[in-house]
Amino acid sequence: MLDGMGRDEMRAADADRHAVAEKLRAALDEGRLDLHEYDERLQQAYAAKTYGELDLLLTDLPSVAPVAVPPAGAVASAEQNEHVTAQWLMRTWSSWLPAVTITTAIWLVSSLAAGDLLYFWPVWVAGPWGAVLLWQTVGGLASGQPQKLAAERDRKELAKQRKRERKALEAEAIARGELPPSKSGKGAKSAAGAKPAESAKSAAGAMPAEGAEGAKFTEGAKSAAGPKAAKDGKGDATTVN
């Protein structure tokens, strides 16, 4: 059946996708791809189904050869796959086991307190929940879910690492004067410089207002004191007369 099928139409294996991912990483280290292109091609590599789809990701990279068909019996590292699968199984069943243990302990204490074996009601916790988890486990192992999640986790971790390295390189270039300061830094400086100016303006605007209020209060005090002073003057004049 495979005799009439071309190489580009043959189905690729996980080892082939991993090999393309390594070559893309090498191209990123050499500066042939930027971080965005690398991330986009890496996603396409892990989603590729055939050798033709994988080869398209490498055709414009001169130092990278197309993916070769692996010999019969070539598989990924068994130990690594077992480790990834074990971690995935532990995460899948991590909540079921403690819940069943706690409910069984409660049932056992209740039975000892009653002096007789009570109805084993924890089965209604362990049974339906366990059946759902068993279905998810079988489906996940059949579809290679542990390997896919591990590859996605590695891809995100690598993207974070590349981002940190890029920021470090930019900081070094700015320190050497090869690049201008970032816009965010300028914006922060502008904002920091604007705040004292605004405070000064606010203080300058508040002082005349306070002066005006003081003048009004003084005038009011004078006007209130005027009639009283006049009355006192009249009283003194009458006494003298």
Q: What is the pLDDT of residues 127-179, one digit of tens each?
A: 999 999 999 899 888 888 888 887 888 888 888 887 888 788 778 778 877 67
**pLDDT at residue 160, as a whole number:** 85
Average pLDDT score over residue span 46-75: 70
- Do 117 and 196 share a domain, yes or no? no
* Between 8 and 42, residue with greater pLDDT: 42
Angle at 100 between CA 130 and CA 118, to 5 degrees: 115
Asked whether residue 229 is domain-assigned, the answer is no
- Do 151 and 163 share a domain, yes or no? yes
pLDDT tens per residue, range 6-21 = 777 888 888 888 888 8
Calpha distance 88→146 (Å, rounded) = 6
Asked whether residue 48 is domain-assigned, the answer is yes
pTM, two decimals, is 0.38
- Do 45 and 138 share a domain, yes or no? no
Cβ count within 10 A of residue 187: 10
- Do 103 and 200 share a domain, yes or no? no
Asked which of 91, 125, 142 is the last residue of a domain, the reply is 142
Band of residue 86 on the pLDDT scale cut at 50, 70, 90: confident
Domain residues for 192? 181-218
Residue whose C-alpha is closest to residue 68's, from 23, 111, 118: 23
**pLDDT at residue 78, as a whole number:** 63
Average pLDDT score over residue span 9-36: 86
**pLDDT at residue 103, as a whole number:** 94
**pLDDT at residue 75, as a whole number:** 47
Asked whether residue 91 is domain-assigned, the answer is yes
**pLDDT at residue 131, as a whole number:** 93
Asked whether residue 149 is domain-assigned, the answer is yes
Calpha distance 120→103 (Å, rounded) = 10
pLDDT of 120 > 70? The answer is yes
Q: What is the average pLDDT value for the chain, to the nearest integer?
A: 73
Amino acid occupying residue 208: P
Asked whether residue 100 is domain-assigned, the answer is yes
- What sections of 143-182 are H helices per DSSP? 145-176
Calpha distance 27→101 (Å, rounded) = 51
Asked whether residue 231 is domain-assigned, the answer is no
For a pLDDT cut of 90, what percent of the chain falls above it? 15
Structural domain total, the chain: 3
Chain length of the chain: 241
**pLDDT at residue 236, as a whole number:** 46
Number of H helices, E strands in the chain: 8, 0
Calpha distance 131→199 (Å, rounded) = 67
- Do 22 and 106 share a domain, yes or no? no
Band of residue 79 on the pLDDT scale cut at 50, 70, 90: low
Cβ count within 10 A of residue 41: 21
* Between 50 and 236, residue with greater pLDDT: 50
**pLDDT at residue 182, as a whole number:** 62
- Do 26 and 63 share a domain, yes or no? yes
Asked whether residue 37 is domain-assigned, the answer is yes
- Do 84 and 133 share a domain, yes or no? yes
**pLDDT at residue 64, as a whole number:** 52
Calpha distance 21→2 (Å, rounded) = 26
Lowest mean pLDDT among 90-99, 178-187, 222-231: 222-231
- Do 29 and 123 share a domain, yes or no? no
Calpha distance 98→104 (Å, rounded) = 10
- Do 164 and 204 share a domain, yes or no? no
pLDDT tens per residue, range 188-228 = 444 444 444 454 454 445 444 444 444 444 454 445 444 44
Where do the DSSP E strands lie in the chain?
A: none
Torsion (CA) 35, 39, 40, 46 in degrees, nearest 10: 150
Helix, strand, or coil (residue 42): helix
- Do 59 and 93 share a domain, yes or no? no
**Residues in Cβ contact with 27 at an 8 Å cutoff, skipping those fewer than 6 apart:** 33, 38, 61, 63, 64
Helix, strand, or coil (residue 200): helix
Q: What are phi and psi of 11, to 5 degrees?
A: -75, 135
